[in-house]
Amino acid sequence: MKQKNSIKHIYSQEEIDKILLRFKNNSTFICAFLTACYTGMRTGEVFALTWNDIDLENKIIKINKTVYSKIKDDKGRWFIGTPKTEGSCREVFICDTLYKILYNYKEKQKLLKKKYGRKYKKYQLEPIKNKLGKINEYKVVESKCKNSKNIEMVFKKNNGLYVGTDIIKYPFKIIHNELGIKNCRFYDLRGSYATNILRNGVEIKDVANILGHSRIETTENYYISSSDKNKKDILEQIIQSNVIDKIIKCKF
């Protein structure tokens, strides 16, 4: 039985266009927003992405971690851990529209690194051990040494500063209060994705695989109304607009 109020908001194309137009100068938010639109990834999965997870050549995103916040100390408060369930580790295909968005965004980051030079923030993962001495998570810490093994977080500020999921806080205040799209969250893009592909012919078991659900019942309970390459363009055909066409042509 479907749980009441399990879906908070299903984004319409009109709402998506309105959001994209409002934040057309915020390339990080635009790229993160469209990544969720076209993949159905969880919020923590989106903002845990590194460029090593994104294979632009083969158009695949490897999802194998999530980011979350803990009590802040002098090294920050963002931690990287394993996804929600074992089935959450998966690969999703990158449609042509998302490919262009990610490619342009990566090229912009290359230019920003040159612009900021030594002031550009760099990060590494610090292993955190539990009481048994086993590493069960990593802390995202700023790198101070030249020879340290750095990670390239995808979604961050222009100077390289990584603020985890905080980067969407201000945009969603604007979305709620200025644009008047109430009671919506970044996470609801996941439900919108599932609803759209389910309504357009993708079987429930394939939707579950794409979302990283180990049980079909989870998908049925939480997402109203695949991993095969012939399904990768379904959402691209559903989410189309002149606004998105203009954005993918933009070099940010």
**Residue 35 CB neighbour total at 10 angstroms:** 26
Which tens digit of pLDDT belongs to each residue from 15-42? 999 999 999 999 999 999 999 999 889 9
Measured at the alpha carbon of residue 84, what is the angle toward residues 78 and 86, in degrees to the nearest 5? 130
Which percentage of the chain shows pLDDT scores above 70?
77
Of 1.10.443.10, 1.10.510.10, 3.10.20.30, 1.20.120.350, the CATH number of 13-246 is: 1.10.443.10
d(CA 206, CA 193): 13
d(CA 23, CA 70): 29
- Residue 150 in tokens: 């750095």
Predicted confidence at residue 10, as pLDDT, reads 86
Which tens digit of pLDDT belongs to each residue from 161-174? 999 999 999 999 99
Query: What's the distance, CA 31 to chain centroid?
Result: 8
Cβ–Cβ under 8 Å, residues 226 and 90: no
Measured at the alpha carbon of residue 230, what is the angle toward residues 240 and 204, in degrees to the nearest 5? 85
